[in-house]
Amino acid sequence: MGQIKSMELFEEYAFKMMEKHYIPGVGIGINKEGKRLYEQDFGFRDVEKKLPVNADTVFGIASMTKSFTCVAIMQLQELGKLSVHDKVIKYLPDFRTADLEKTKEITIHHLMTHTAGLPPISTHVYARKRSIDQDPSAKDYGLDLVNHPGAAIDTYEEMLDFIVGLDVKLLGDPGTAYSYSNDSFGLLGIIVSRVSGQAYEEYVTEHILQPANMQNSFFDITNIDTLDNITTLYAAKHSTDGVEVYAAPLWWDAPSMRAVGYLKSSVNDILKFLEIFRNNGVVGEERILTSESVDQMIYPHVEFEKGRFYGYGLRIIPDYFGTTFINHGGGLKGVSSFMGVIPEKGLSGVILSNLSDVPTDKLLMGAINVLEDREASATHLHFECYHMPEEDFIPFVGIYKSGEGMKVVVKVVNNQLAIISGVTISPLRCIGENLFIVNEEDRIQFLPDQTGVIDRIFYASRQILKVVE
């Protein structure tokens, strides 16, 4: 009864979070040593029809797909078909940036850890342009994605040509500058295809989804119309009158960049996939990876925030209440997802939702907290905030824009530095030199150029350049 009572505390927390963030539907599952410890659904997969969520309901998983891409790379390395330390131009000889010599030094490892030096550019906008142009809800997504002139990017070759044509200036030498990069994982998808001789989606289906018995996981959106137990997607319109959440059923696709985040899956299937990282590469009776490959994937290769690292398609927190927390999330139109494994405890968990930009990470961690006899809202992060005189705000004020459609406006509001997003004003609190937190624990850092002038912001794990506007 103690455990049931404790999860009631989590469920009270979850309902409050769903109400606060207008979340239509959520599915959550947590396993211990591969066996179901906790499973629950909240809200609906279809609000109008009052259809519930269950552990087989299909959702988008967005960037959680990146870990599947890295599993594919590791499998190909095991077969001797590539090495993660190979130069990218060995497989993509036409790949170029503005600095040819630096381009030659970019390795597959750099792509897998977001350290190739690529800034957030507009490739992904054009890769899903056909979907965006058909979807009235795209204007409410939160990024500047509509009214982009130019052709859609439909093929691997078109994607590579587009990146080369931008003549991208790298953020730094390969391996020195972390910036979350959808483009890097798009390139990894091409490498998987060229090395394996199969389309990326076919390779992942044959070598990961099928051996792991992930029967409700797929890339092809034409499958959606054949399924009954699949969520409706929802979008949110923010205005001074409040938030309106509405059904937005068109699923986005990016045929040339499916390696970035276009797998659909379920709670049950993702928990099978997470066995790879809990059980040293084995799912059921099938070995998907060697234990050595798993160790490479979950190794904390690069620290992108204090105490937070990136492995291969996975984020690593080495000290999460004294344990290791391996995790990744995802966000896309109608998708918020988060999964995690705590190997020392044998715990694995996933949460899937049908609205973008909602804190699925806090919900999953809330459930784990309660299972571990902590408050649902407990955090392993603790910050000391410092007073900053208003005159010191000036170097940070400005507009920061990325090619992916992200616009970050930093202003002084009521004598406090703040980020403005639509009608939302989020105050920043200083926790160190050029370092702030927003929304209680999300860290933001302002980065200077070689002369000491602030010219970019590290926001949403990306280095976004300051613009004159």
- State the Cα torsion 253-232-439-341 to the nearest 10°: -80
Q: Which of 377, 408, 439 is the last residue of a domain?
A: 377
Residue 439's pLDDT is what? 84
Q: 381-405 in b/e burial notation, b at 16+ Cβ within 10 A?
A: eebeeeeeeeeebeebebbbbbbbb
Residue 280 lies in a domain: yes
Which of the 8 DSSP states describes residue 389?
-
Residue 383 lies in a domain: no
Residue 148's pLDDT is what? 85
Residue 206's pLDDT is what? 98
Residue 469's pLDDT is what? 57
Q: Are residues 431 and 304 in the same domain?
A: no
CATH number assigned to the domain comprising residue 135: 3.40.710.10
Q: Are residues 409 and 350 in the same domain?
A: no
Residue 69 lies in a domain: yes
Residue range of the domain that includes 427? 390-467
* Sheet strands side by side (includes 347-353): 51-52, 35-46, 25-32, 347-353, 335-342, 323-332, 315-320, 308-310, 302-305
Q: Are residues 252 and 335 in the same domain?
A: yes
Per the structure, how many domains does the chain have? 2
Residue that the structure tokens 């170029």 belong to: 96
Q: Are residues 4 and 104 in the same domain?
A: yes
Q: Are residues 143 and 204 in the same domain?
A: yes
Q: Are residues 155 and 269 in the same domain?
A: yes
Q: Are residues 215 and 311 in the same domain?
A: yes
Residue 411 lies in a domain: yes
Q: Are residues 397 and 329 in the same domain?
A: no
Residue 239 lies in a domain: yes
pLDDT beneath 50, residues of the chain: 1-2
Residue 291's pLDDT is what? 98
Q: Are residues 297 and 365 in the same domain?
A: yes
Residue 421's pLDDT is what? 79
Q: How many CB atoms lie within 10 A of CB 231?
A: 28
Residue 385 lies in a domain: no
Q: Are residues 352 and 403 in the same domain?
A: no
Residue 5's pLDDT is what? 56
Residue 409 lies in a domain: yes
CA distances from 309 to 115, 121, 300 (A): 12, 23, 5
Q: Which of 335, 352, 377 is the last residue of a domain?
A: 377
Q: Which of 321, 344, 377 is the last residue of a domain?
A: 377
Q: Are residues 179 and 312 in the same domain?
A: yes
Q: Are residues 403 and 328 in the same domain?
A: no
Residue 1's pLDDT is what? 36
DSSP state letters, 390-452? GGGGGGG-EEEE-TTS-EEEEEEETTEEEEEETTEEEE-EEEETTEEEETTTEEEEEEE-TTS
Residue 442 lies in a domain: yes
Task: Please give the model's pTM, rounded to 2 decimal places.
Answer: 0.96
